[in-house]
Amino acid sequence: MTEAAGGGPRLQQKVAPPDVNALVSVLREASASRSVVQVVGGGTRQGYGSPPPFDIALHMTGFSGIEEWDPDDLTVTVGAGTPVADLEAELSGRSQTAVLPEVPGASTVGGVISAGVSSLRRARLLGTRERMLEVRLVTGDGRVVRGGGRVVKNVSGYDLPRLVVGAFGSLGVITSMCLKLWPKPAAAATVAIGDAETAARVRRPLAVLEHDGATDVFLWGTPEEVFSSAARLGGEMREGLHWPADPDGRYRWSLRLPPASTSEGVSRLPATWSHLAIHGAGEIRAASDAPDGAEDLRGWAEGMGGSLVVVEAPRGGINGMDPWGRPPPGLEIQGRLIAHFDPARVINPGRLPGGL
């Protein structure tokens, strides 16, 4: 039970439609009765954005598993409810990866796409948006829509697959997507270095991550390349890629900056915050037990053209602090787009910036 908008108790219903037809019925009925739907994948990011009080918890377990995968094509079509860890384990068997978050916990593929969460390898292999080739979704009013296609290159029509990334279901509930894969090369290593500047000795590393006072460079490629790069860096080398987990705390934050300002961003974090900085990408994941200092940090980040986003906070929010900060430009158009896909506004209403 949560508090309804009017203050009274709200009766919540849990549904897990087994297929697209059942999902269409759920959404049509929700639209007809104006019931608020919260979409649940692995349940790892239910506090992200401004989640509204809801009537229906829509679990995506019925849309799980790989639909189509020919390793030769470097694409995979996968159900939205598939756990990221399961997908990556399966792909790993043929030395491929979807370049999704490395330490996903219970996250599902549909969940990380809807929340717009990217891999730690994003400075080299780019973010989750770049993985999306095709999307199938059910709109708020129950239309089954496909955009894009199952090939690695496609300019047929507007890029709906890219638009659903970070849209929190506002355009519809994703049922499946086709992702662009990347082959895993023969060798990989993690090298501990003194500071992020040292990483510049390697032109295009897979990742440079700074966390808990340590900086690691992640390398992959042919054995010759990996070992010579590691030697150039000069730090302690471990074979394989040893990814750190996201920092955890009562409050979790995402600080987004122009890439060259990443080190300054780390230095401006309040002293008690733990962090994981992705150098070259301008993303710093942070966690804290208290929100102190967040307003100042946000003011600085927004002045740099970036943002400080609240990813998770204890119930009740952060002293009136908006989870997204300054609303982005183009809110009117965003509102019109959403109205075309979810006219009764039943899927995660108000969760996006600007109350959309």
Partner 1 sequence: MSLVQDLRAVLGDDRVLEEPVELYLYSRDASLMQGQATCVAFPHTTAEVAAVVRVAEAHGVPIIPRGAGTGLAAGAIPIDGGIVLSTTSMNQIELDVENRTAWVGAGVINLDLTKEAEPYGLSFAPDPSSQSACTIGGNVANNSGGAHCLAEGATTSHVLGLEVVLAGGEVLVLGGQAPDMPGLDLKGLIVGSEGTLGVVTRALVRLLPIEADVRTLLLDFEELSAATRTVSDVIAAGLVPAALEIMDQKMTTAVENWLRAGLPCDCAAILLAEVVGEPEAVEAEAALVSRIGMQNGARNVQVARDEEERAMLWKGRKSAFGAVAQVSPNYYLHDTVVPRSRLVETMEEVQAIADRHGLDVYNVFHAGDGNLHPLMAFDASDPVMLEKVHRAGEEMVAACLARGGALSGEHGIGLEKRDMMRDDFTDIDLDAQARLKEAFDPSGLFNPAKVLPEGSRCFDFGGVRREIPDGAWV
Within residues 117-176, the interface with partner 1 by CB under 8 A covers 118, 122, 126-127, 129-130, 139-147, 149-160, 162-163, 165-167, 170
* Subset of residues 77 to 96 that bind partner 1, contact rule: CB under 8 A: 95
Residue in the structure block whose two tokens are 């992959």: 220
How many residues form the binding site for partner 1 (CB under 8 A)? 95
125: enclosing H helix or E strand: helix 122-125
Q: Which is nearer to partner 1, 278 or 287 (CB)?
A: 278
Query: Measuring CA to CA, which residue among 202, 232, 214, 189 is closest to residue 277?
Result: 214
Q: List strand residue ranges (DSSP E) for 151-266, in order.
A: 173-180, 182-183, 187-193, 207-211, 214-221, 236-239, 251-256
* Whole-angstrom distance, CA of residue 173 vs CA of residue 205: 36
Q: Which is nearer to partner 1, 72 or 213 (CB)?
A: 72
Q: Which is nearer to partner 1, 136 or 211 (CB)?
A: 136
> Any contact of residue 224 with partner 1 (CB under 8 A)?
yes
CB of 174 to partner 1, least distance (A): 14
Strand 56-59 vs strand 13-15: parallel, antiparallel, or unpaired? parallel
CA atoms within 13 A on the CB side of 70: 5
CB of 28 to partner 1, least distance (A): 6
User: Of the candidates 79, 282, 291, 349, which one interacts with partner 1 according to CB under 8 A?
Assistant: 282
CB of 192 to partner 1, least distance (A): 20
Alpha-helix residue ranges (DSSP H) falling in 164-233:
223-233
* Subset of residues 240 to 279 that bind partner 1, contact rule: CB under 8 A: 254, 256-260
Q: Which is nearer to partner 1, 13 or 222 (CB)?
A: 222
CB of 181 to partner 1, least distance (A): 10
* Subset of residues 6 to 35 that bind partner 1, contact rule: CB under 8 A: 28, 31-32
The β-bridge partners of 216 are: 192, 209
Task: Answer yes or no: are the C-beta atoms of 307 and 325 closer than 8 Å.
Answer: yes
> Any contact of residue 309 with partner 1 (CB under 8 A)?
yes
CB of 319 to partner 1, least distance (A): 19
Look up residue 187 and give its DSSP letter.
Answer: E
Query: Measuring CA to CA, which residue among 150, 138, 3, 134 is closest to residue 60?
Result: 138
Query: Measuring CA to CA, which residue among 135, 167, 165, 130 is closest to residue 49?
Result: 167
CB of 340 to partner 1, least distance (A): 4
> Any contact of residue 182 with partner 1 (CB under 8 A)?
yes
334: enclosing H helix or E strand: helix 331-341
Q: Which is nearer to partner 1, 88 or 141 (CB)?
A: 141
* Subset of residues 190 to 219 that bind partner 1, contact rule: CB under 8 A: 202-204
Rounded to 5 degrees, φ, ψ at 205 are -70, 165
| Candidate ranges 3-11, 69-77, 240-248, 311-319; the one touching partner 1 (CB under 8 A) | 69-77
